[in-house]
Chain A
Amino acid sequence: MSNLFDRVKKHPYYLAFLKDAWPYITGAVLLSVFQIVTLAVTGNPWGVSAVFANWGAWLYKLAGGVVDKWYYFAGEGTPGSLALLERGILKDPGTWRNVGIIVGALFATLIASGFKFKKIKSWRQVIAAVLGGLLMGYGARIGFGCNIGAFYSGIASLSLSGWVFGAFLFVGAIIGSKLLVKYFM
């Protein structure tokens, strides 16, 4: 059995489809295809970060907290929804999609025999991850989304907000790069 897998590993079609990296443009086209499919099927474009606020709410609930009075979840037409929180995490489509991204990437890595667990190397990486995560989370909520929901989907939805968010993503990236070189390298 292991002989079969070893032979597959050297087969040209395996290499082309499942092992070697694909060109960036292929990615651009495929992501576009599935973005369009998503809008057509679900009535909304792809989004990633709104789900994280919900995960936060469910964790908070486990700790005994309650968000019923928060405008974000309780207000009319806000990104959050008490009804969705009530239905629970297993019925949250966004959760399934986000976990899907993790598993899909895991599958891609394993099938290319490229998986390796990379441990955190230094305190600098810890601080970068903590700070970076907090900034992204907060920024995404007040910006109505992340690089996908606010930027990619926003622009594709022909909303000016996508362009404005994108311009300032770029500004933030420059600031972040300076910080990276100065403190995190």
Chain B
Amino acid sequence: MAEVELDCMGEACPIPLVKAQKKIEELAVSDILIVHIDHSCAMKNLPEWAREAGHNVEIEEIDDGEWDVIIEKVK
């Protein structure tokens, strides 16, 4: 069960989401993708996309205005 980190700090909308969509394809099922973001749009659209796609998602606020979006690839 690999853990892959994707640093998207300082990226403009919608780059975190597009990068995450591409990255998750490289992962095997039950791998975990951790996306580091500081963009409030991404904090909403990343989990929304991941849930729509059927993955497990958790959001962790790591500092003011910074989040880790943790996605477990389910299928």
Contact = CB atoms under 8 A, between A and B. Distances in A.
Direct A–B contact in the complex, CB atoms closer than 8 angstroms: yes
A185 interface: yes
B65 A115 contact: yes
Given A21-B43, A114-B40, A185-B15, A121 B65 contact: no
Interface residues of B, number: 15
B10 A113 contact: no
A125 B11 CA distance: 9
A128 interface: yes
B29 interface: no
Interface string A19-30: 001000000000
B12 A113 contact: no
6 contacts: A21-B43, A116-B66, A118-B39, A118-B65, A119-B10, A121-B11
Interface of B: 10-12, 15, 18-19, 38-40, 43-44, 63-66
